[in-house]
Amino acid sequence: MSVQDENKLTKIKNSLESRVVTLPDGTSLPRIGQGTWYMGENPQMREREIKALQLGIDLGMKLIDTAEMYGDGDSERLVGEAIKGRRDDVFLVSKVYPHHAGLDMIAKACENSLKRLGTDHLDLYLLHWRGRVPLAETIEGMEKLRKEGKIVRWGVSNFDTDDMKELWNTTNGKNCMTNQVLYHLGSRGIDYDLLPWQREHHMPIMAYSPLAQGGSLRRQLLTDPTIKEIAEKYAVQPLQIALAWTIRSNDCLAIPKAVQEEHVLANAKATIIELTKEDLNRLDEVFPQPTRKMPLDII
Ligand X SMILES: NC(=O)c1ccc[n+]([C@@H]2O[C@H](COP(=O)([O-])OP(=O)(O)OC[C@H]3O[C@@H](n4cnc5c(N)ncnc54)[C@H](OP(=O)(O)O)[C@@H]3O)[C@@H](O)[C@H]2O)c1
Q: Which residues are annotated as a binding site for substrate?
A: 128
Cβ atoms 268, 99 nearer than 8 A: no
Name the residue nearer to ligand X (CB basis): 135 or 212. Answer: 212
Residues 73-102 that bind ligand X (CB under 6 A): none
Name the residue nearer to ligand X (CB basis): 71 or 141. Answer: 71
Residues 36-65 that bind ligand X (CB under 6 A): 36-37, 65
Which are the catalytic amino acids?
70
Cβ atoms 209, 262 nearer than 8 A: no
CB of 3 to ligand X, least distance (A): 25
Name the residue nearer to ligand X (CB basis): 128 or 188. Answer: 128
180, 198, 246, 271: residue in contact with ligand X (rule CB under 6 A): 180
Distance from C-alpha of 252 to C-alpha of 22, rounded to nearest angstrom: 9
Residue 210 in contact with ligand X, rule: CB under 6 A? yes
Residue of 154, 110, 111, 102 whose CA lies nearest to 131: 102
Query: What does the per-residue mask of binding to ligand X show for 244-273, with x meaning CB under 6 A?
Result: -----------xxxxxx--x--xx------
Give the three-state DSSP class for 32: strand
Residue 71 in contact with ligand X, rule: CB under 6 A? no
CA atoms within 13 A on the CB side of 277: 0
Residues 121-140 that bind ligand X (CB under 6 A): 128
Give the three-state DSSP class for 276: coil
Distance from C-alpha of 127 to C-alpha of 130, rounded to nearest angstrom: 7
Residue whose C-beta lies closest to ligand X: 35
Name the residue nearer to ligand X (CB basis): 56 or 102. Answer: 56
- How many residues at the interface with ligand X, by CB under 6 A? 27
Phi, psi dihedrals of residue 184, rounded to the nearest 5°: -150, 170
CB of 33 to ligand X, least distance (A): 9
Residue 179 in contact with ligand X, rule: CB under 6 A? no
β-strand pairing of 28-30 with 20-22: antiparallel
Residue of 170, 93, 91, 92 whose CA lies nearest to 130: 170
Name the residue nearer to ligand X (CB basis): 119 or 240. Answer: 240
Give the N- to C-terminal CA distance of the chain in Å, as an integer: 40
Which residues neighbour 242 within 8 Å (Cβ) at sequence distance 6 or greater? 184, 185, 186, 210, 211, 212, 221, 227
Q: Phi-psi category of 212—alpha, beta or left, where left has phi over 0 and alpha has psi -120 to 50?
A: left
Amino acid at 224: D
CB of 299 to ligand X, least distance (A): 5
Query: What does the per-residue mask of binding to ligand X show for 138-157, with x meaning CB under 6 A?
Result: -------------------x
- Strands, E, within 161-200: which ranges? 176-182
Name the residue nearer to ligand X (CB basis): 114 or 264. Answer: 264
Residue 113 in contact with ligand X, rule: CB under 6 A? no
Residue 208 in contact with ligand X, rule: CB under 6 A? yes
CB of 147 to ligand X, least distance (A): 25
Residues 212-251 that bind ligand X (CB under 6 A): 212-214, 237, 239
Cβ atoms 157, 127 nearer than 8 A: yes
Interacting residues with ligand X (CB under 6 A): 35-37, 65, 128, 157-158, 180, 208-214, 237, 239, 255-260, 263, 266-267, 299
